[in-house]
C-alpha cells in the first residue's frame, strides 16, 4: 500500500492577521462595545482583547491602561452634530437639537460615555474631562449659541440671553437627569425642557 506524503500547506495565518490602523480600529470598537455591555467597572484590557479577537499584548503595546484606551475610543467614536437646525423658530430649532443630542447620548459611543461619567471615581473622571468637554459639551454649546443668536436677530430672544449660564442649561440638564434620574429623554421630556425652562429664559421682557 502506497501512502501519500502530501499534506495540505499550512494556512497562511499571517496574511489574515489585522495590523496597523485596522487592528487599532477593531480594538477601539471593542472598547466601546464592552463599555456599553459591562460598564466601566467591569471593563478589562483582557475583555477588550477577547472582544477584538486579538492578543492582550497587542492591546497593551498601544495603550498602557484602560483609561488611555477608553479616552482614545471615545475621542474616535463620539458622534458629532455638525450643524445647528434652522427651522425658522427658536423653539423648533432647540427641540430638533435636543433630539439629536438625545440620540447621540444613546448611541453606542454615547452609552459608553455615560458609563464612564456615571461609574468613574473623581480621579479617573479627570482623565476624561478634556475628551468630554471638547467632544461633547463645547460643540453642543456652540450650536445652542448659534440658535440663540439667530433668535435674537429675529426678535424672539432677549438680547442678553447669549451668556454662559443660559447656554449651559440644556447640556447640564440632559446630563444631570440622565445620570441621577435615569431619564431617557423621551419626546415629552424634551418638549418640557424647551417649553417650561428654555423659552421662559429666552423670552424678551413684556412678551
- Do 95 and 192 share a structural domain? yes
Q: What is the CATH number of the domain that holds 62?
A: 1.10.10.60
If pLDDT is split at 50, 70 and 90, which confidence band does 10 have? very low
**pLDDT for res 13:** 42
**pLDDT for res 18:** 67
Q: What is the CATH number of the domain that holds 145?
A: 1.10.357.10
pLDDT tens-place string over residues 118-148 = 888 877 777 788 888 888 889 999 999 999 9
Residue 53 φ/ψ, nearest 5 degrees: 55, 50
Angle made by CA atoms 100, 24, 31, in degrees to the nearest 5: 55
- Do 196 and 141 share a structural domain? yes
Alpha carbons 34 and 40: distance in angstroms, whole number: 9
The residue out of 7, 40, 75 marking a domain boundary is 75
- Do 47 and 84 share a structural domain? no
Q: For residue 9, is pLDDT > 50? A: no
44 falls within a domain: yes
If pLDDT is split at 50, 70 and 90, which confidence band does 80 have? confident
pLDDT tens-place string over residues 17-55 = 667 899 999 999 999 999 989 999 999 999 999 999 999
| SS3 track for 108-132 | HHHHHHHHHHHHCCHHHHHHHHHHH
Would you call 58 helix, strand, or coil by DSSP? helix
pTM above 0.75, yes or no: yes
Q: How many CB atoms lie within 10 A of CB 34?
A: 24
Alpha carbons 207 and 201: distance in angstroms, whole number: 12
The residue out of 37, 54, 75 marking a domain boundary is 75
**pLDDT for res 17:** 67
- Do 82 and 45 share a structural domain? no
The residue out of 75, 110, 127 marking a domain boundary is 75
Q: Into how many domains does the chain fold?
A: 2
Angle formed by the axes of helices 108-119 and 164-180, to 10°? 80
Structural domain span for residue 194:
78-202
- Do 84 and 64 share a structural domain? no
- Do 103 and 30 share a structural domain? no
Give me the percent of the chain exceeding a pLDDT of 70. Answer: 91
- Do 145 and 117 share a structural domain? yes
- Do 126 and 56 share a structural domain? no
pLDDT tens-place string over residues 149-158 = 999 999 999 9
Whole-angstrom distance between the N-terminal and C-terminal Cα of the chain?
103
Give me the percent of the chain exceeding a pLDDT of 90. Answer: 63
- Do 69 and 50 share a structural domain? yes
Q: Which residue has the higher pLDDT, 79 or 115?
A: 115
Residue 5 φ/ψ, nearest 5 degrees: -90, 0
- Do 124 and 46 share a structural domain? no
Q: How many CB atoms lie within 10 A of CB 20?
A: 7
| SS3 track for 139-154 | HHHHHHHHHHHHHHHH
Amino acid at each position: 500500500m502506497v501512502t501519500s506524503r502530501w499534506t495540505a500547506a499550512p494556512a497562511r495565518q499571517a496574511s489574515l492577521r489585522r495590523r496597523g490602523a485596522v487592528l487599532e480600529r477593531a480594538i477601539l470598537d471593542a472598547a466601546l462595545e464592552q463599555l456599553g455591555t459591562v460598564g466601566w467597572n467591569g471593563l478589562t484590557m483582557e475583555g477588550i482583547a477577547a472582544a477584538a479577537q486579538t492578543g492582550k499584548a497587542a492591546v497593551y503595546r498601544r495603550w498602557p491602561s484602560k483609561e488611555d484606551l477608553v479616552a482614545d475610543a471615545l475621542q474616535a467614536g463620539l458622534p458629532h452634530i455638525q450643524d445647528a437646525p434652522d427651522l425658522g423658530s427658536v423653539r423648533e430649532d432647540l427641540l430638533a437639537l435636543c433630539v439629536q443630542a438625545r440620540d447621540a447620548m444613546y448611541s453606542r459611543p454615547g452609552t459608553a460615555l455615560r458609563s464612564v461619567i456615571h461609574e468613574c471615581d473623581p480621579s479617573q473622571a479627570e482623565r476624561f474631562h478634556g475628551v468630554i468637554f471638547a467632544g461633547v459639551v463645547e460643540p453642543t454649546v456652540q450650536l445652542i449659541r448659534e440658535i440663540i443668536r439667530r433668535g435674537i436677530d429675529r426678535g424672539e430672544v432677549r438680547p442678553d440671553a447669549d451668556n454662559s449660564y443660559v447656554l449651559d442649561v440644556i447640556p447640564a440638564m440632559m446630563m444631570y437627569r440622565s445620570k441621577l434620574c435615569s431619564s431617557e429623554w423621551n419626546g415629552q421630556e424634551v418638549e418640557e425642557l424647551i417649553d417650561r425652562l428654555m423659552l421662559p429664559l429666552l423670552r424678551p421682557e413684556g412678551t
